[in-house]
Amino acid sequence: MPRLELVVDASPLISALLGGQALKLLYSPLFLFATTERTTWEVKKYIPEIAERLEISEIEILETFEDFPLVAYQSNLYSSALSRARNKIGLRDPKDVDILALAYHLGTPLWTQDLDLIDIEDIQTITTQDLLTIIATNE
């Protein structure tokens, strides 16, 4: 079975750092993950809170994040899709423009828990539960 390529939003990455089900998904051989450089910056802003909550060092959290098997793309790669993404979500949630643009550019589903993104009709979104179901049916 070929690996399913997905663009991943910040919320599943933060969940994975907290030890949620998303961590299992990130390391599944069934999937390939991409995100935006901007999304990595967004996740890194939460590292102090995550470290405090888990009572481990920020460096450990950062190292864990940097080891996640995903490719982070710079905005110049998907710049041609930014206008389309801005038209779809820019007014509701401007910080989601880049992740949506990358999904448009790559033509892959978007893994997110964000209701603003899930409501967009011309992109396939996948939730953590959807991916867990895929894993369960392939074991």
- Please tell me whether residue 138 adopts helix, strand or coil conformation: coil
* Predicted confidence (pLDDT) at residue 139 exceeds the cutoff of 80: no
- Angstrom distance (rounded) from CA 120 to CA 101: 12
Is 0.85 topped by the overall pTM?
Answer: yes
Which residue segment(s) compose the domain that 13 sits in?
A: 4-137
pLDDT tens by residue, 1-36: 678 999 999 999 999 999 999 999 999 999 999 999
Where residue 77 sits, what CATH number does that domain have? 3.40.50.1010
pLDDT at 1: 61
Q: Where are the alpha helices (DSSP H) in the chain?
A: 10-17, 21-26, 37-45, 47-54, 58-67, 75-78, 82-89, 97-106, 115-118, 128-137
Q: How many CA atoms lie within 13 A of 7 on its CB side?
A: 27
* Predicted confidence (pLDDT) at residue 133 exceeds the cutoff of 80: yes
* Predicted confidence (pLDDT) at residue 119 exceeds the cutoff of 90: no
pLDDT at 90: 76
Residue type, position 2, single letter: P
Q: pLDDT > 70: what percent of the chain? A: 99
Q: Structural domain tally of the chain?
A: 1
pLDDT at 111: 97
pLDDT tens by residue, 64-102: 999 999 999 999 999 999 999 999 997 888 899 999 999
